[in-house]
């Protein structure tokens, strides 16, 4: 839900900055199916009986690694996507250092408190590495609509989504703006 809120806020910011919604149709990504694949892996591990299979968290870690690499690959094509890369990398680091699972604060963990770990999630404990990067953020005032725990990486990803949308809406040529390069013909 955080990402949906980021989309809405990005569109709002894009309009306030004089952008146009139709500029979003000009966003072009290389190999967008990598994102779809990573989201499918995440959903499958979270929502299917796979969540109870030990070792499946490493599949999620691989999908997140591919997603971080993909966002880095897009940096010169899509303005602002570097924020999504940074947020995803923060999540990747905390997951990689905690047995390929994202730690979740007990007060936000729901049924995870009883099992200790499910799929790509584990309960945050005193032994958790980099606990400040774990899922411990509950957005105040919107908990009824966003009843999930978020990590600092998730917040940076959401900020990145909003920035990408707002910048793409402002752009006259969408995401195809790249940094100018000096190109010369060989002598």
**Structural domain for 94, as ranges:** 28-155
* 150 assigned to some structural domain: yes
Average pLDDT over residues 58-69: 92
* 6 assigned to some structural domain: no
The number of folded domains in the chain is: 1
Q: What is the pLDDT of residues 127-169, one digit of tens each?
A: 999 999 999 998 765 555 545 789 999 999 999 999 999 999 9
* 88 assigned to some structural domain: yes
pTM of the predicted protein model:
0.80
pLDDT tier at 174 (50, 70, 90 boundaries)?
Answer: very low
3 state DSSP class of 118: strand
Give strand pairing partners of 102. Answer: 121
* 7 assigned to some structural domain: no
Q: What is the pLDDT of residues 2-61, one digit of tens each?
A: 888 899 999 999 999 999 998 888 888 888 889 899 889 888 887 888 877 888 889 889
The Cβ-side half-sphere exposure at 96, using a 13 Å CA radius, reads 11
């Amino acid at each position: 839900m955080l990402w949906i809120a980021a989309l809405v806020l990005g569109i709002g910011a894009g309009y306030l900055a004089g952008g146009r919604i139709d500029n979003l149709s000009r966003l072009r990504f290389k190999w967008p199916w990598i994102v779809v694949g990573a989201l499918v892996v995440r959903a499958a591990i979270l929502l299917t009986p796979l969540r109870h299979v030990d070792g499946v968290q490493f599949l999620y870690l691989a999908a997140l690694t591919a997603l971080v690499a993909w966002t880095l690959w897009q940096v010169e094509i899509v303005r602002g996507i570097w924020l999504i890369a940074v947020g995803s990398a923060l999540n990747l680091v905390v997951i990689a250092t905690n047995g390929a699972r994202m730690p979740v604060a007990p007060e936000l963990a729901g049924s995870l408190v009883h099992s200790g770990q499910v799929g790509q999630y584990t309960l945050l404990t005193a032994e958790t590495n980099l606990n400040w990067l774990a899922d411990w953020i509950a957005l105040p005032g919107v908990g009824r609509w966003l009843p999930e725990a978020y990590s600092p990486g998730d917040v940076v990803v959401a900020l990145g989504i909003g920035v990408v949308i707002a910048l793409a809406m402002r752009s006259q040529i969408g995401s195809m703006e790249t940094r100018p390069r000096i190109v010369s013909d060989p002598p």
